[in-house]
């Protein structure tokens, strides 16, 4: 018998998928950790589960209590599923720049959703800071605080990293991933480097994010912007502190979109925007390292969360981002 005890028992243990065409084209083996196959549909299910379990262990969350979080959507979706399964309420603060699909799904799941204007982190009304204040004022509530809560990266140190190690028999040459909170990148990088310090750990970064300049020069520089959601940051979060990083690769939107449609047409994978950044960076790394290397990245979430944007021709045309390989 193989029976999972509810939603939480089905988080993690995702397949590692060989991207066949892209591997053949580069002579490297490009592998994607299929996090879109988590029960809540994204990589953030793992962090959501660890943060709730951590709050329970610390007696911060009582039955009927509320989990509050500021999120680009996926963490909120993971939290909302787990709150339903465990008997908690869920209150989500989300910037109004995020896709309608994610906001609609959060409401369908029964979370209370407050959309707020997207303002920089230094503004006291930034969605992350707002969520912390709301949690502090609400009785029997806990703030998940994914950006600076180390239970987030611990989820990946204890599950995603070991799964990748086991699935590859420890034969990994490089790990590359974009960061939002940094939990996924950091947890896996910490685990892999401990097992084998020669594994290259590389941050992928969209335009407009500080990680690339920070890794390259130690300075925070914010230039440009990106249509991707859930990744990029203007600061170094607690989850990213002390994480071994060999290099960073910056990916622009046209390159990201081209790769997303290659994944769709050539690999049969319908993916969210951050996956375009991750796989584009993996392809750059494959060129830099040369044939014969095994490069692992993350397939963070699926494309249906962005149907009205990345996969809507009018929306993409208005952004000047219609891909050259579009099949009409």
Per-residue interface string for the shown chain with ligand PMP, residues 31-70, x marking contact by CB under 6 A: -----------xxx--------------------------
- Using DSSP bridges, classify how beta strands 294-298 and 29-33 pair: parallel, antiparallel or unpaired: parallel
72 near ligand PMP, judged by CB under 6 A = yes
Q: Clarify whether 33 is annotated catalytic.
A: no
Opening angle at CA 158, ends 28 and 10, nearest 5 = 90
Given strand 174-178, what is the order of strands in its sheet? Answer: 16-18, 29-33, 294-298, 174-178, 200-206, 247-251
The number of C-alpha atoms within 13 Å of 11 and in the hemisphere containing its C-beta is 22
Q: Among residue numbers 277 through 306, which ones bind ligand PMP (CB under 6 A)?
A: 300-301
User: Which stretch, 53-61, 114-122, 182-190, 258-266, contacts ligand PMP (CB under 6 A)?
Assistant: 182-190
Q: What are the backbone angles phi and psi of residue 145, rounded to the nearest 5°? A: 55, 50
**Nearest distance from residue 182's CB to ligand PMP, in Å?**
5
Print burial letters for 37-48: b (CB count within 10 Å at least 16), e (below 16): bbbbbbbbbbbb
**Nearest distance from residue 186's CB to ligand PMP, in Å?**
8
The residue among 65 and 145 lying less far from ligand PMP, judged by its C-beta, is 145
Judged by CB under 6 A, the residue of 38, 98, 181, 226 near ligand PMP is: 181
DSSP 265: I
**Nearest distance from residue 9's CB to ligand PMP, in Å?**
21
User: Which stretch, 91-99, 158-166, 179-187, 253-261, contacts ligand PMP (CB under 6 A)?
Assistant: 179-187
Tokens of 85: 């399964």
Cα–Cα dist 97/119, whole Å = 10
Compute the residue count for the chain: 328
- Using DSSP bridges, classify how beta strands 200-206 and 247-251 pair: parallel, antiparallel or unpaired: parallel
User: Which stretch, 121-129, 173-181, 199-207, 289-297, contacts ligand PMP (CB under 6 A)?
Assistant: 173-181
User: Which stretch, 116-124, 205-213, 229-237, 245-253, contacts ligand PMP (CB under 6 A)?
Assistant: 229-237
- Give the active site residue among 33, 44, 86, 193: 44
Which residues contact ligand PMP by CB under 6 A?
42-44, 72, 74, 178-185, 229-231, 272, 274, 300-301
Active centre residues (catalytic): 44
């Amino acid at each position: 018998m193989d029976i999972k005890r509810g939603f939480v028992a089905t988080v993690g243990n995702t397949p590692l998928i060989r991207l066949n065409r892209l591997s053949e084209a580069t002579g490297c083996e490009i592998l994607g950790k299929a996090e879109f196959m988590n029960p809540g549909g994204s990589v953030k299910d793992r962090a959501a589960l660890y943060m709730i379990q951590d709050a329970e262990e610390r007696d911060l969350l009582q039955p009927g209590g509320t989990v509050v979080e500021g999120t680009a959507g996926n963490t909120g979706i993971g939290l909302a599923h787990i709150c339903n399964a465990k008997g908690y309420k869920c209150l989500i603060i989300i910037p109004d720049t995020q896709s309608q699909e994610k906001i609609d799904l959060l409401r369908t799941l029964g979370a209370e959703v407050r959309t707020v204007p997207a303002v920089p982190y230094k503004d006291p009304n930034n969605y992350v800071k707002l969520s912390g204040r709301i949690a502090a004022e609400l009785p029997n509530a806990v703030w998940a605080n994914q950006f600076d809560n180390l239970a987030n990266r611990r989820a990946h140190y204890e599950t995603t990293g070991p799964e990748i190690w086991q699935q590859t028999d420890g034969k990994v040459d490089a790990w590359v991933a974009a960061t939002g909170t940094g939990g996924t990148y950091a947890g896996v990088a910490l685990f892999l480097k401990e097992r084998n310090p020669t594994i290259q750990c590389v941050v992928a970064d969209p335009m407009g994010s500080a990680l690339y300049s920070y890794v390259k020069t130690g300075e925070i520089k914010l230039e440009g912007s990106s249509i991707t959601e859930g990744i990029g940051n203007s600061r170094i979060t607690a989850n990213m502190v002390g994480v071994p990083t060999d290099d960073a690769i910056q990916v622009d939107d046209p390159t990201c979109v081209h790769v997303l449609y290659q994944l769709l047409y050539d690999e049969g994978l319908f993916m969210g925007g951050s996956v375009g950044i991750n796989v584009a960076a993996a392809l750059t790394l494959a060129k830099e390292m040369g044939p014969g290397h095994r490069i692992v990245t993350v397939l963070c979430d699926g494309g249906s969360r962005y149907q009205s944007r990345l996969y809507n021709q009018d929306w993409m045309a208005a952004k000047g981002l219609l891909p050259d390989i579009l099949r009409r």
